[in-house]
Amino acid sequence: MRVLIALLVVVLGAPVAAAAPTAAIVGGDTVLVNGVPCRVAFNAKTPANAHRVIVLGACTGSAQPVTAAVPPPGSTPTAQVRVGSRLVTVTGTRSPAIGSSVCTSSPTSGYRCGTVQAVNQTVNFPGGAITGLTRTNTCFEFGDAGSPVLAGTQAVGVLLAGSGNCTVGGTSYYVPINQVLSQNGLALYVG
């Protein structure tokens, strides 16, 4: 199975207007991180209550597939995520469970749902193996990487890569949000 490399897809994917520096940042928005347009999956905070955005590691040069970045100056965090044309308030986090339903929303493929097929998966990329991923049957299109993954109003992960497409179906992989939060010492903004 051919796995698409999607770590830089935010830069190369479908054009998305960057959030204004003084605007509220909503999950699914694109902001500039060190001059690079990056899709924000979720807003998070440090123990000192400093605002961070959860983005692909490629946006920051991190070796982690998904990491936290300092948002643009003057931006305001929210507990909201764009789901199609509406906003959903994130109420917490959930660990992935096989058979559970998850959905993602991106400007490229829109709002799509699927089922968790496996957890703690390893995928080999040209830059090395990434472990701890969750596999779903949610379709994946070029430009979807970095999108938030939800189970209802619960954050479950950040879309990383996949194969196939939304016309014939496919497989997608996401990094579990609790793993990202733990690695970066963060908590999500919730409402």
pLDDT tens-digit series, residues 104-133: 988 888 889 999 999 999 999 888 899 999
CA distance 125 to 143: 17
pLDDT per position as a tens digit, 63-113: 999 999 999 998 999 999 998 889 999 999 999 899 999 999 888 888 899
* pLDDT reported for residue 187: 97
Contact 180, 53 (CB under 8 A): no
Lowest-pLDDT range of 20-34, 149-163, 165-179: 20-34
- Write down the pLDDT at residue 42: 97
Domain 88-176, classified CATH 3.40.1030.10, yes or no: no
Rounded percentage of the chain residues whose pLDDT exceeds 70:
88
Q: What is the rounded CA–CA span in Å between residue 76 and residue 80?
A: 11
H or E, element range at 77: strand 76-83
Lowest mean pLDDT among 1-15, 46-60, 96-110, 111-125: 1-15
How many whole angstroms separate alpha carbon 2 and alpha carbon 189? 35
Sorted by where each begins, the domain ranges of the chain are: 9-83+182-188, 88-176
- Report which of residues 80 and 21 the model is more confident about: 80
pTM of the entire predicted model: 0.86
DSSP structure class, residue 64 = S
